[in-house]
Amino acid sequence: MVQGTVNWNTEITQEWLQSYVDDWVKFYKKQTRDGEVASYIPELNKANPNHLGISIVGNNGVTIKSGDVDIPFTIQSISKVFCFIIACMERGVSYVLDRVDVEPTGEAFNSIMHLEMRKLKKPFNPFVNAGAITVSSMLNGKTSDEKLEPLFILLEKMLGYRPALNINVYESERDTSIRNRAIGYYLLELDYLESDMNITLETYFKQCSIEITVDDLATIGRVFANDGIDPNSGVEIIPRKIVRLAKALMLTCGMYDASGKFAAYVGIPAKSGVSGGIIAVAPPRVRDEELPFIDGCGIGVYGPSLDDKGNSIAGIKLLRHIATKWDLSVF
């Protein structure tokens, strides 16, 4: 069934899409065996490695969900996109980009190498830990809760409810994150931090521990696909210039040192996290033929079994399959 083809020109029904996605999720669920759940944050290691779920929310109002869609998980590095957006909204794009660049590193998300090389005199991009921690230090507010309040307000505007922190995951990362503390000290030494280092790290650990579902990621992705406008109300939630910059960074740096391959084989902006979540954004396409979700959609994936880069092993394969079948690539 996975190799089956559909003539999208005839009639696309929601039931068809649902049955195809159900088959694909069933097929790729087997691939979860080839990866491993993150263990360096002990609390994340409690996830069920066999889980795989997807939610697709279209600008046309159609929603397709399949697999393990009701499991809450923490956003981890996906928060880096949202905090980058908040920093740009609070400080202005040029202020932020003067302090964090927009270049892919080709290195692991927690690499320190580029900080030591000091080639750019600032972190390479806001989605590697060094860049994300620098961005967290730029957020307005004296305490971590004050710094993160605008993020919660933004999420609530998009989701219609205020997500909560998973305190166990927060404490687990806070109490074990030697590497991120090392990055914090490095940033402090280089004078890149704009707030107290401990408050900045507390902010970073908390933003990573916000708990959501695949439906939430798809709903947020749909706002991104719609250039920052809530498709239901028509209200602009994120300025277009900022959301487009965020999408460009997702495409070039969102999947860490697998970003090039993801752009080549999937071809849509996406951001992953070590809990196994991926947010992906399929913008509206201009094509003569009829294709599923031609008006754009947001996609949320959860699959905690990870590949060696820290991305959901089955989630990436599932996204690649869907993007190929439905011709989602932006290129």
Q: Is the CB of residue 50 less than 8 Å from the CB of residue 305?
A: yes
3-class secondary structure for 83-96?
HHHHHHHHHCHHHH
Interaction between residue 77 and ligand DON (CB under 6 A) = yes
Interaction between residue 254 and ligand DON (CB under 6 A) = no
Tell how strand 53-58 and strand 36-37 pair up. Answer: unpaired
Residues 81-110 that bind ligand DON (CB under 6 A): 109
The pair phi, psi for residue 273, each rounded to 5°, is: -140, 155
**Is 28 marked as a binding-site residue?**
no
Instruction: Tell me the three state secondary structure of residue 174.
Output: helix
**Is 129 marked as a binding-site residue?**
yes
Residue closer to ligand DON, measured from CB, 267 or 277? 277
Q: What is the largest CA-CA distance in the chain?
A: 62
Interaction between residue 252 and ligand DON (CB under 6 A) = no
Interaction between residue 273 and ligand DON (CB under 6 A) = yes
Query: Exactly one of 155, 208, 294, 313 binds ligand DON (CB under 6 A); which one?
Result: 208
Residues 133-162 that bind ligand DON (CB under 6 A): none
Binding range to ligand DON, per CB under 6 A, among 81-89, 257-265, 272-280, 295-303? 272-280
**Is 173 marked as a binding-site residue?**
yes
Rg (CA), the chain: 19
**Is 256 marked as a binding-site residue?**
yes
Angstrom distance (rounded) from CA 190 to CA 129: 15
DSSP secondary structure letter of residue 254: T
Binding range to ligand DON, per CB under 6 A, among 13-21, 152-160, 228-236, 266-274? 266-274
Residues binding ligand DON (CB under 6 A): 76-77, 109, 129, 173, 180, 208, 256, 272-274, 310
